Structure 1
Amino acid sequence: MLEEQQITWVILAGGQSSRMGGHDKGLLVYQGQPLIQRVIEALQPQASLLWICANRNQAAYRQYAPVIEDLYPDYPGPLAGLHSALKHAQTEWVGILPCDGPQVSHDLVQRFCQVSDNNGKVYVAHDGEKYQPVYALAHRTILAPLEHFLEQGERKVMRFFEQVGARPVDCHDIQSMFMNVNTPEQLLNLQAQPIT
């Protein structure tokens, strides 16, 4: 079983937010706070190493945590954030989660630590029906196949994780964590949810 100090957790805030009219999702206000602040506050008690991957507004994000950026151009998606994290991290394991999911479970890190072992290379949250691939834990040994995947122009997160033998992390009882913000309407709907 992993210890939390063996993992660098990276909040992915590097997207273009095209469905949000280009507004940087992590800096949108949710129940009085920027989304990134909600995620940070939920994750900080669980994680000793915490970064943000952002491709713009980096000064704003540095208020919350150290910032890295994608090493691939043109916003290639979450796998580019994972790639950058694996390149920068001093730990053997890197965890990822999105900036636009403000209801992070208080035991998210513990769930990943409990199921991980030396045989698996990627662990992915599973909500009881499907994988939630932007909530994942990956070992540094996937870096070379990840680079190959990205250099082929591939972007599908779960397709890559399946190639490297993804294992599920049971999160069926915390499905609300996977409610995220992709459009202005979703932000309004999420605002109406009670604070958890």
Structure 2
Amino acid sequence: MPTPDNTRWVILAGGQASRMGGNDKGLIPLASRTLIEHVIDRLKPQTSAISINANRNKERYSHFGFVFGDNIQDYPGPLGGMHAALHQYPDSEWIGFVPCDCPQLPVDLVARMSRACNADTDIAVAHDGEHIQPVVTLLNRRILPKLEQFLAAGDRKIILLYRQCNMVTVDFSDQPDAFINLNTPEELEQFGQAL
């Protein structure tokens, strides 16, 4: 069973950020710090096992922790980062993921996600009360063969893979603003003004 002590967490920063004008989202400044620093600040009190999945600017990301890239070319999206992490950490049964553009993640994310899993759980996914947050997830490595088959078929839609697995949702309806993600310069500016 997953616990905060036996789970590994990966910040996904490997995308193309096309809606952010192609700028590397994790390195974009928000309130004098980069977005990924805000995410690390949220995760660090919860777990010491944090690494970063990035496909660009690896040297800059390495200032914040261990960095590894996708094994699959052409930016397959969050699933590419999940696939890479399962290969990077073959001894980790449970690996959690968060996006690099969610600066207000719950302060009890790791504990709550871990508690939601049972022996049959393949994937635990955060739910904000209205929608699932498919990139905020804790998964069991047993899904790797299914994930590889899914990617080999050219599929990229994360929720389609989840539907093939034993998925549980984790209720964070008490913290709906924790999953605000910043995809565009306008969203970033608006969020920064509210800080």
Q: Which runs of 4+ in 1 moved over 2 A?
A: none
Partner AA of 1:24 in structure 2: D
Alignment of 1:33-182 (within 5 A): 33-89=33-89, 90-182=91-183
Instruction: State the shift of 1:181 in Å.
Output: 1.1
Unmatched 5+ residue regions in structure 1? none
Mapped to 2, the partners of 1:193 and 1:107 lie a distance apart of 23
Distance in 2 between the 1:170 and 1:111 partners? 9
Q: Number of matched residues?
A: 194
For the aligned residue pairs, the C-alpha RMSD in angstroms reads 1.0
Distance 1:111 1:59 in 2: 32
Work out whether residues 2 and 94 of structure 2, in 8 Å CA contact, stay in contact via their aligned partners in 1: no
TM-score, normalisation: structure 1: 0.96
The aligned amino acid for 2:96 is G
Letter in 2 for 1:57: N
Following superposition, the deviation at residue 7 of structure 1 comes to 0.9
State how 1:21-36 maps to structure 2 within 5 Å.
21-36=21-36
In the superposition, the TM-score normalised over structure 2's length comes to 0.97
Give the drift of 1:160: 0.6
Q: Which runs of 5+ in 2 are unaligned?
A: none
Alpha-carbon displacement from aligned partner over 1:15-65 (angstroms, at most 9, x marks no partner):
001111110000001111000001011101101211100000001111111
Q: Which amino acid aligns with 1:136?
A: T
Task: Give the Å deviation of 1:108.
Answer: 0.5
AA matched with 1:175: P
State the distance in 2 between where 1:5 and 1:62 align.
Answer: 23
1:179 Cα offset (Å): 0.8
- Report the more deviating stretch, 49-58 or 84-93: 84-93
